[in-house]
Amino acid sequence: MTTTYERAALPRPARGRRRPRPSPAGPLLALLWAGAAAVVALWWYDTRSVVGLAGWLTDAGRICGLLCGYSCAILVALMARVPLLERRIGSDRVARWHAMAGRYTVCLLVAHITLILFGYAAQDGSGIVDETLSVVFDYPDMLKATIGTLILFAVGITSARVARRRISHEFWYYVHLLTYVAVFLAFFHQLSLGSDFVGSAAAQAAWYMLYLGTAALVVWFRLLAPVRLNLRHKLRVESVYREAPGVFSIVVRGERLDELKAQAGQFFRWRFLAEGMRWTSTPYSLSAPPRPDRMRITVKALGDHSAAVGLLRPGTRVWAEGPYGALTAERSTAPKALLIAGGVGITPLRALFEALPGDLTLLYRARTAEDLALGAELEAIAKWRGARVLYAVNGADGTRPRFTAESLREAVPDIAGHDIYLCGPPAMARDLYEALRAAGVPDRRIHHESFEL
């Protein structure tokens, strides 16, 4: 099929070894843990002595509350879609950090509430129910903090895996956004009631800097930067065409798209301003290297939203955020690469197959030959650059090909010297990772990004 998205404008990728850019993940994690240590030091400096059961409970509640407040700021910062994190560390890894920070936050919050209330009750000699009512309704800023706490619990409950399976992505997403409201409501009681802040201008200033800095990241990268992107580049659907059963490519036209500095392997969060779709923002990878005036995505109909994408009409306005993702040529460390795609995971790897330098082999897994989307393009690219395309499809009786260390070494004898770019369903990715490690591929050369965001 001839499409409006041509490859000829791009130069042939250079061969040879690249020097990968170092990941900021290690220094950033060290910085975050140093911040937690500073919070503990603040509690230690301000604690003269701990006496009696009430004192132990209350002070344990204090340190849990301080760490919870710090964790709330980190939780929100990881939601801010900061390019340094999204493009250098990887959106999937940042999402895992955010999920972990969320679990820490909820656990610290439960511990803070429980320890403080029982400590106050022991100190006052009152029952836990009376003490709870007194704290909520009589202490300054505590009613707002209570509402914020309930919102955080709701966010935590809807983020649990069991709940996620039963609710729509849109409902989860909008409940998740209430985290901002919860953190705002809970902020003020920290300064008005926290003994570590009362009377300490330096501690208050540091806490304000932490939260205002986090707020600035959110406002800039989640509000202002997307508005600027879409006003400047004026994205619209140019064309939609079928690639395979239930698989469609969408070409999006815009102005000065080279300014976005998007790379093959990255993705945008797309919001199509058509009826029934404008309230949903979904990540889809670029399925070809971006051009100065066009970008292309390829979408498989896996739900209501993705099915509706194939019905979009040319001229539909598009709201996009990005680019995001670290599954790019910048991860390359070897002169040879093996790209392994499963199903719709072919989309970012098809773009990399065209743009990634060096000697390439692409292994494409699908249920049937009919499900091999973009097959004609892959064959054309392979011929153009002297690369190989291997296919793994189910047998006539439905048997699935197994990926083992032996079968991978048979397909690519020097596989241990390759960079591996992997994109596919989570179960397939896990099995392949184990097989690749057994085949002698170093962990640092296995590049994978999950799009279950």
Sheet strand arrangement including 318-324: 282-285, 267-272, 318-324
**Rounded distance between C-alpha atoms, residue 136 and residue 140, angstroms:** 9
Cα 326 to chain centroid, rounded:
10
**Rounded distance between C-alpha atoms, residue 341 and residue 344, angstroms:** 8
**Rounded distance between C-alpha atoms, residue 307 and residue 253, angstroms:** 21
**267: which strand partners?**
285, 324
Cα 170 to chain centroid, rounded:
16
Structure tokens at 185: 């409501």
Matching residue, tokens 């659907």: 237
Q: How many residues does the chain have?
A: 453
Q: Are 445 and 420 in contact (CB under 8 A)?
A: yes
Is the full-model pTM beyond 0.95?
A: no
Matching residue, tokens 């309704």: 137
pLDDT tens for each residue of the chain, 453 residues long: 334 465 444 455 655 555 666 778 889 999 999 999 999 999 888 877 777 888 899 999 999 999 999 999 999 999 999 999 998 888 888 988 999 999 999 999 999 999 999 999 999 899 999 999 999 999 999 999 999 999 999 998 988 888 877 887 778 888 889 999 999 999 999 998 888 888 789 999 999 999 999 999 999 999 999 999 999 999 999 999 998 888 899 999 999 999 999 999 999 999 999 988 888 889 999 999 999 999 999 998 877 778 888 899 999 999 999 999 999 998 888 899 999 998 888 999 999 999 999 899 999 998 888 888 888 899 999 999 999 999 988 887 778 888 899 999 999 999 999 999 999 888 888 899 999 999 999 998 999 877 554
